[in-house]
């Protein structure tokens, strides 16, 4: 008995070490070699106006794929615009582009629910959200929606002035792997909603089609920070009844997010002697952003490629007429990015 249970224990040990030997190395944001890197030294594929994919073909849309698809494809930072819900309710936030009458992508609670689902199912992924606080909302309102979505335990807070960021592996081990920045209105009562410009600078974002891609410090004005956003998306100005609107350019996205992006990254690496931390694009599934970000991270892209949207109609009549309606109503001066 004793001998056989001893043998059984030995064989158990042997088989478990066999299992251990076969366990692949932990991957962080998809790659084992990123685990030891500080958050600040990794580059992240970022979607500008990540929520603005609906309705399909909207003239003001910046993306084609929804947030779960973006996450699945490897987008790891998301630019979102916060507005007061049209109902006036303070227990949610509305995701709109320029105004909720132009493009209303629905409530934040839905998007945070999608993020929670992804983060639960993918415990080795570190995610960042950039807030444009267009509606001048109080940080407490964000806190309410994040808490209701069950994201509180995932939130990471970096102390202001501390330039030593944790490694991806340590953020993953602590489960604190959701980083949140806000461009305006941060306050000490909600420390996790971090004042973006304490940590991050951005290159200019209002790039017109055909204009050179700039590598200058736009926000905060003339101040370099530890991390940076390479804003790389273009628009074209149109004039409707004396009103100017800047429209995203899906038809050019393969060029914009392909050869143009290579050039812009190279130029800015030269100017700043630093990789962009966040590479922000429109229509991310066109061009090579995922491959280029992998290259910035020193890894060979192993993803399956970005999901191509199913062919939908181009701008539908309803969308066009509501867009024109918004313009005619004078709800818009300049359509902002
Ligand atoms: C800065 O943050 C790092 C990573 O979280 C931490 O290890 C370190 O102790 C912090 N340094 C200070 C001075 O707080």
Task: Return the closest-CA partner of residue 72 out of 306, 308, 310.
Answer: 306
**Ligand 1 centroid from CA 38, angstroms:** 12
Q: Return the minimum-mean-pLDDT range out of 39-48, 189-198, 234-243.
A: 234-243
Confidence category of residue 315, pLDDT binned at 50, 70, 90 = very low
How many CA atoms lie less than 13 Å away from 58 in the CB half-sphere?
Answer: 22
Q: How many CB atoms lie within 10 A of CB 129?
A: 21
Pocket of ligand 1, candidates 158, 164, 169, 172: which has the most ligand atoms within 8 Å of its Cβ, to mutate? Answer: 164
245 sits in which H/E element: strand 243-248
**Ligand 1 centroid from CA 187, angstroms:** 21
Q: What is the distance between the alpha carbons of residues 279 and 46, in angstroms, rounded to a whole number?
A: 5
Q: Write down the pLDDT at residue 332.
A: 33
Q: What is the dihedral of CA 289, 291, 297, 302, to 10 degrees?
A: 140
- Distance set, CA 230 to CA 9, 257, 303 (Å): 56, 12, 22
Q: What is the distance between the alpha carbons of residues 262 and 260, in angstroms, rounded to a whole number?
A: 5
pLDDT in tens, 57-93: 788 899 999 999 999 999 999 999 999 999 999 999 9
Query: Which atom of ligand 1 lies at the shortest distance from residue 165's CA?
Result: 4
- Of 5 and 206, the structure prediction assigns the larger pLDDT to 206
**Ligand 1 centroid from CA 219, angstroms:** 26
Alpha carbon nearest to ligand 1 atom 14, residue: 162
pLDDT in tens, 213-230: 999 999 999 999 999 999
Contact 114, 68 (CB under 8 A): yes
Over residues 110-115, the mean pLDDT reads 98
Confidence category of residue 312, pLDDT binned at 50, 70, 90 = low
Q: Write down the pLDDT at residue 239.
A: 81
Q: Write down the pLDDT at residue 279.
A: 98
Q: What is the distance between the alpha carbons of residues 164 and 41, in angstroms, rounded to a whole number?
A: 10
Pocket of ligand 1, candidates 155, 158, 162: which has the most ligand atoms within 8 Å of its Cβ, to mutate? Answer: 162
**Ligand 1 centroid from CA 167, angstroms:** 11
Q: Write down the pLDDT at residue 280.
A: 98
**Structural domains of the chain in order of their starting residue, each with its CATH number:** 34-329 (3.20.20.190)
pLDDT value at 330 more than 90: no
Ligand 1 binding pocket (C-beta < 6 A) is 159, 162, 164, 166
When the pLDDT of each residue in the chain is averaged and rounded to a whole number, the result is 88
Contact 264, 256 (CB under 8 A): no
Q: What is the distance between the alpha carbons of residues 156 and 330, in angstroms, rounded to a whole number?
A: 41
Alpha carbon nearest to ligand 1 atom 9, residue: 164
Over residues 136-153, the mean pLDDT reads 98
Alpha carbon nearest to ligand 1 atom 5, residue: 166
Query: Which atom of ligand 1 lies at the shortest distance from residue 162's CA?
Result: 1
pLDDT value at 238 more than 90: no
Alpha carbon nearest to ligand 1 atom 4, residue: 166
Over residues 1-18, the mean pLDDT reads 45
Tokens of 149: 């979505």
Is the full-model pTM beyond 0.85?
Answer: yes
Q: Write down the pLDDT at residue 59.
A: 84
């Amino acid at each position: 008995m004793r001998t056989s249970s001893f043998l059984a224990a030995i064989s158990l040990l042997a088989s478990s070490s066999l299992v251990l030997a076969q366990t692949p190395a932990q991957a962080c944001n998809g790659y084992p070699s990123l685990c030891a890197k500080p958050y600040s030294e990794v580059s992240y594929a970022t979607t500008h106006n990540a929520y603005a994919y609906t309705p399909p073909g909207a003239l003001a849309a910046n993306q084609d794929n929804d947030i779960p698809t973006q996450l699945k494809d490897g987008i790891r930072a998301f630019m979102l615009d916060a507005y007061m819900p049209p109902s006036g309710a303070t227990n949610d936030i509305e995701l709109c582009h320029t105004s909720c009458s132009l493009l209303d992508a629905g409530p934040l609670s839905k998007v945070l629910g999608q993020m929670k689902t992804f983060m639960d199912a993918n415990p080795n992924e570190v995610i960042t959200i950039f807030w444009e606080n267009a509606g001048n909302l109080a940080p407490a309102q964000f806190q309410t929606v994040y808490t209701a979505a069950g994201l509180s335990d995932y939130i990471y807070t970096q102390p202001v002035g501390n330039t030593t960021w944790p490694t991806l592996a340590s953020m993953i081990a602590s489960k604190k792997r959701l980083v949140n920045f806000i461009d305006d209105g941060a306050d000490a009562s909600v420390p996790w909603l971090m004042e973006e410009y304490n940590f991050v600078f951005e290159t200019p974002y209002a790039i017109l089609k055909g204009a050179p891609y700039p590598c200058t410090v736009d926000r905060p004005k003339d101040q370099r920070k530890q991390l940076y956003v390479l804003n790389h998306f273009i628009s074209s100005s149109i004039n409707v009844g004396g009103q100017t609107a800047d429209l995203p350019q899906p038809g050019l996205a393969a060029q914009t997010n392909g050869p143009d992006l290579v050039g812009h990254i190279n130029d800015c690496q030269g100017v700043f002697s630093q990789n962009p931390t966040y590479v922000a694009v429109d229509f991310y599934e066109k061009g090579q952003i995922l491959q280029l970000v992998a290259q910035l991270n020193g890894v060979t892209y192993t993803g399956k490629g970005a999901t191509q949207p199913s062919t939908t109609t181009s701008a539908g009549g309803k969308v066009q007429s509501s867009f024109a309606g918004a313009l005619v109503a004078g709800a818009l001066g300049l359509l902002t990015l």
